[in-house]
Amino acid sequence: MSKFIASNAYVQNSDKKNFVTPSAAIEIGQGWASNTINTTIFRHHAILTMEGAQYTAFYVNTNLLRIVKRNLSTAEIETYDIQGTFNLNDAHNGISLGHDRNHRLHITYDHHASKLQYRIAAKPHSIDKWSDCRPMTEVHEENVTYPSFILPRKDFPLTFLYRDGSWNKGSARLKYFNEQLDSWTDLNEPILSGTDLLPWTANAYWNHPCVGKDGSLHLSYVWRTHSLGPDQLINNINICYARSDDNGLSWQTSRGRGFKKPITPANSEVVYAVSPGTNLINQCGMALDSEDRPHIAYYANDENEIPQYQHLWFDGLIWRNQIISTRTYEFNLQGGGTLDIPISRPEIVINRNNDVFIIYRGDLTEDRMAILTLKSPEYDYKNSELVILDPEPLGRSEPIIDRSRWIREEILSILLQKCQQPNHDQPKAEILSSVRVIDLKLRNKP
């Protein structure tokens, strides 16, 4: 059952100096909360809008995946349940949604270095009938992780980006959907790859892909190789960038110089150097400003070895970086699987005035979801610009946003769910909690 909660969703510190206006909050059901599988930031897309309707999906339990359609005009909610056997102990196994140019939804789910699980809706704008689980091309589909749908734009079709391989030996690959043939084709070679490196292999972890006004595709990413020392410190190295004007066929640097493919650690454009073993987190947020210049939100250690949120952006001439938090104690990213971390990975959106909004949950906010505003053009950090969005502590949840709606309407829809995260994906007893969507308007600064 869905429930309309309020038209004035909670916002703390909402006065004239802040410009976050709550609009609506909708409860869409009870979902699995024993870990963060429903709220991992790398779901792309976890929630999206297509022609007046908003779609999302979440796991209810180990045998039920629920797809939700919300009419944005009437607030009517439809649901459809996919029955199956899902491995929910591994938080990597999240759900991603996309849609093609015929307005049919596509869904992938439940894989971590495993066989592709994929379905397509039978009718446009509909969730009430789906294909059976099917392959895309049956090529490089046995070892899939981090499925990401890049939505159609310009003359480019629905595109599928995913990892083929493992955490330290992987390649990023693309597939393209043809609506007339109802089939996918592969880009023959990977776009990013550390699979064949010697003596150590590597894998690229990308932030959310971004699409420019001209249809260009933008990726930023870190490279991971072997863990460090007896404590198995996670070894993410450097922040890198590439863009493509032809939907992945060719790639260039931020200064327009072409890459040979695949892009590897040897020829990547390192836009910000980060030392090994300094708590650089993988898979964060990226957004483009009005000039299609990339902005990246992430965290890594400061000079005192304390992880801090940071904002990295290209101003058209140089890449600039700033620390945008004041945390005071250390933690380390170490060990395998999904980790129990005191702060979420950050998301980012940018409005038409080029003001930047960083979205996160963590110890600075008593585990409540918050937005930090960085006003253009200098993006000076002021702690007074941090706004708490919702009173409920969310455990280890990460920000899940509707990018497609933000780009069209500058309304920010955020999916919220309180959930735990056992260290290293240890199994936990089933816990359910409310899954909600809140809508926010982020006004232009006075």
For residue 383, the SS3 value is: helix
DSSP 148: E
Any idea what the Cα angle at residue 173 is, between residues 117 and 162, rounded to 5°? 40
In this structure, what are the phi and psi dihedrals at residue 177, rounded to the nearest 5 degrees? -100, 135
Instruction: Report how far residue 413's alpha carbon sits from residue 432's, in angstroms, rounded to the nearest whole number.
Output: 22
Per-residue pLDDT of the chain (446 residues; tens, 9 = 90+): 444 443 344 556 545 445 677 778 899 999 999 999 999 999 999 999 999 999 999 999 999 999 999 999 999 999 999 999 999 999 999 999 999 999 999 999 999 999 999 999 999 999 999 999 999 999 999 999 999 999 999 999 999 999 999 999 999 999 999 999 999 999 999 999 999 999 999 999 999 999 999 999 999 999 999 999 998 999 999 999 999 999 999 999 999 999 999 999 999 999 999 999 999 999 999 999 999 999 999 999 999 999 999 999 999 999 999 999 999 999 999 888 677 899 999 999 999 999 999 999 999 999 999 999 999 999 999 999 999 999 999 999 999 999 999 999 999 999 999 999 877 667 778 899 999 999 999 876 55
Cα–Cα distances in angstroms (integers) from residue 421 to residues 29, 90, 96, 205, 360, in the given order: 20, 10, 20, 21, 16
Do 97 and 46 contact (CB within 8 A), yes or no?
yes
Question: What number of CA atoms fall less than 13 Å from residue 156's CA on the CB side?
Answer: 24
Closest by CA to 91, choosing from 439, 319, 340, is 340
What is the DSSP-derived secondary structure letter of residue 305?
S
Q: How many CB atoms lie within 10 A of CB 372?
A: 24
Closest CA to 221 of 291, 280, 302: 280
CA 103 to chain centre: 22
- The one-letter code for the residue type at 195 is T
CB 77 within 8 A of CB 2: yes
Q: Is the whole-model pTM more than 0.85?
A: yes
Alpha helices (runs of H) in 180-320, residue ranges in sequence order: none
Contact (Cβ atoms closer than 8 angstroms) between residue 203 and residue 221: no
Token output for 242: 């590439």
